[in-house]
Amino acid sequence: MTLHDVPPLTRRGVPLERDLRVLAIGSFANRFGAGAVMTTSALYFTRQVGFSAAEVALALSVAAIVGIVVQVPAGQLGDTRGPRRVLTWCMVGAALTSALPVLARTPWQLALLLGLLALFERSAGSVQQGVIAQLATGGRGVLFKAYLRAVTNTAIGLGSVFGGAALVIDETWAYVAVFVLNAVFTGFAAWNSTRLPELPPYVRVEGEPRLAVLRDWPYVVVVAITGLFSMHFFVMELGLALYISERTSAPPVMVAILLVVNTAAVALFQVRLSRRADSVEAGARALVRGAVWIAAGFAIVALADRGDATFAIVVLVVGSLVHVVGEMIGSGGQWGLQMGLAPHERQGQYQGFAGLGFSVVAVIGPPVVTLLCVEMGETGWLVLAGMMMAIALVSVPVSRWALASRERYGVLSHSG
């Protein structure tokens, strides 16, 4: 199916199909609450409760590990028990546990409660990817993921405004209200998921391995590549912030300004820049195009430590704008590869595994990014630019190999 054959996804920014509208509403509600919590949680636990930054970081690491462990089993559970039903269960669990971390008074209580929340949140995220792949058919999977990314970025941005109000008030009750707000919005998203159609469970063929994705080596390699490609997110979220504060003359407020610029760009242009990634081969080509822009953005940002504050500000804005173009194109490429190579009836299991790539990089990325962006400075940014290009170029022959393996064994995805 070519792009010209794909039916339109939205009209005036709203999905034409009811089920996709329901998914979009639920995602907006869920991420609005998450945006508010992301803005305030670290300060609440350090300034109001009294935990050290290291204790909070350890608790977050525990939650991240839980997320890694549950993603694939949750996707498999969704495939075999009915994706919509399992999604609702997970969302209800997330709603019931969203506000519990405010009760933590010791680091281990915080780790336990954040881990419990991650169990439900990451499971829901994994199952939802399978639901999206089954509902956004007719070649619209990549476009709808692009649309959802724009929606969720907008929701996070608006939620952060609410969280910002709590920071201004700076009272315990205001921070607690943010966690309660997140629980309420997550509860709404759980109810909203019941409006989706029941999706039939996948009946495993006798003799078929329970987690077939773990034996699908072409897909494993593709996920490793798309996971490594995701390193650029941590570069711009963590590395750039540290680089600005420690190696440039730009004011620290530039970190927030560049985040707003990125969020606005994604909200406005993500769908448009994902239109040419609606198949496996097109996804690999999009990854390369995205890497060119990302590498150029890194090379420009690398110059920010060469001049005064005005020079640094101009360079950082230009580099970030160039990067976000590559981010949007590359994201479409990642989705095209991950969805296009997954068997339609096992999308939950496969998309859960695809999410592992990002989750693992979330563990190894921060120290690598800190070393390259801060310790090595300009040289490190150029090394990262070369890494992005190399990773993307490898994806082209790998995607052909993976596609050939599906044609050989008759397991092509029917989602595109």
> For the chain, what percent of residues have pLDDT higher than 90?
42
User: Which pLDDT score is estimated for 366?
Assistant: 78
Q: Which two tokens stand for residue 53?
A: 């930054």
User: Which pLDDT score is estimated for 364?
Assistant: 81
Per residue in 356-377, pLDDT (tens digit) is 888 888 778 878 888 898 889 8
Residue pair 321/40 in contact (Cβ under 8 Å)? The answer is: no
At residue 72, what is the residue type? Answer: V
User: Which pLDDT score is estimated for 191?
Assistant: 97
pLDDT reading at 32 higher than 50 = yes
Residue pair 340/416 in contact (Cβ under 8 Å)? The answer is: yes
User: Which pLDDT score is estimated for 230?
Assistant: 92
Query: Across residues 39-53, what is the average pLDDT?
Result: 84
pLDDT reading at 14 higher than 90 = no
C-alpha atoms less than 13 angstroms from C-alpha of 59 in its C-beta half-sphere: 24
Residues 6 or more apart whose Cβ sits within 8 Å of residue 261: 317, 320, 321, 324
Cα separations in angstroms, 289 against 21, 240, 261, 329: 30, 22, 21, 7
Task: Categorize the per-residue pLDDT at 210 as very low, low, confident or very high, splitting at 50, 70 and 90.
Answer: low
Q: What is the 3-state secondary structure (H, E, C) of 59-81?
A: HHHHHHHHHHHHHHHHHHHHHHH
pLDDT reading at 316 higher than 80 = yes
Q: Which two tokens stand for residue 350?
A: 């496969």
Query: Across residues 389-407, what is the average pLDDT?
Result: 90
Task: Categorize the per-residue pLDDT at 52 as very low, low, confident or very high, splitting at 50, 70 and 90.
Answer: confident
Cα separations in angstroms, 233 against 18, 22, 38, 122, 331: 32, 28, 16, 19, 10
Distance CA 98, CA 105 (A): 16
pLDDT reading at 123 higher than 90 = yes
Mean pLDDT of the chain: 86
Task: Categorize the per-residue pLDDT at 139 as very low, low, confident or very high, splitting at 50, 70 and 90.
Answer: low
Query: Across residues 271-295, what is the average pLDDT?
Result: 89
Q: 10 has which bridge partners?
A: 15
Distance CA 167, CA 269 (A): 30
At residue 300, what is the residue type? Answer: I
Distance CA 339, CA 270 (A): 17
Per residue in 222-242, pLDDT (tens digit) is 999 999 999 998 888 778 888
Domains of the chain: 18-138+153-193 (1.20.1250.20), 212-409 (1.20.1250.20)
Query: Across residues 300-311, what is the average pLDDT?
Result: 94
Per residue in 153-205, pLDDT (tens digit) is 889 888 888 888 888 888 899 999 999 999 999 999 999 999 999 888 876 66
At residue 236, what is the residue type? Answer: M
pLDDT reading at 2 higher than 50 = no
Give how far the C-alpha of residue 406 lies from the chain's centroid of Cα atoms, to the nearest Å.
26
> For the chain, what percent of residues have pLDDT higher than 70?
93
Cβ neighbours around 375 below 10 Å, total: 12
Distance CA 393, CA 74 (A): 32
Residues 6 or more apart whose Cβ sits within 8 Å of residue 50: none
User: Which pLDDT score is estimated for 1?
Assistant: 45
Strands (DSSP E) along 137-250, which ranges?
Answer: none
Residue pair 117/98 in contact (Cβ under 8 Å)? The answer is: yes
Q: Which two tokens stand for residue 121?
A: 């949140």
Per residue in 319-329, pLDDT (tens digit) is 999 999 999 99
pTM score, two decimals?
A: 0.78
Query: Across residues 265-271, what is the average pLDDT?
Result: 87
User: Which pLDDT score is estimated for 255?
Assistant: 79
